[in-house]
Amino acid sequence: MWLDPLPDQRAARSRVAEGQAMLNSMAQFDLTESLVRGHLRDMSGQVRCAICLARELFLLPGAIMPILATLAERQPPFATGPCGCGGAGLMFLLR
- Summarize pLDDT for 4-18 with one digit per residue, the tens: 556 566 665 665 556
- To the nearest whole number, what is the mean pLDDT of the chain? 81
Q: Which domains does the chain have, with CATH numbers?
A: 9-92 (1.10.10)
pLDDT at 92 over 60: yes
Specify the pLDDT at position 94.
77
Interior/surface letters 43-77, b for 16+ CB within 10 angstroms, e for the rest = eeeebbbbebbbeebebeeebbeebbeebeeeeee
Number of neighbours of residue 80 by Cβ within 10 angstroms: 13
Q: What is the mean pLDDT of residues 21-44?
A: 79
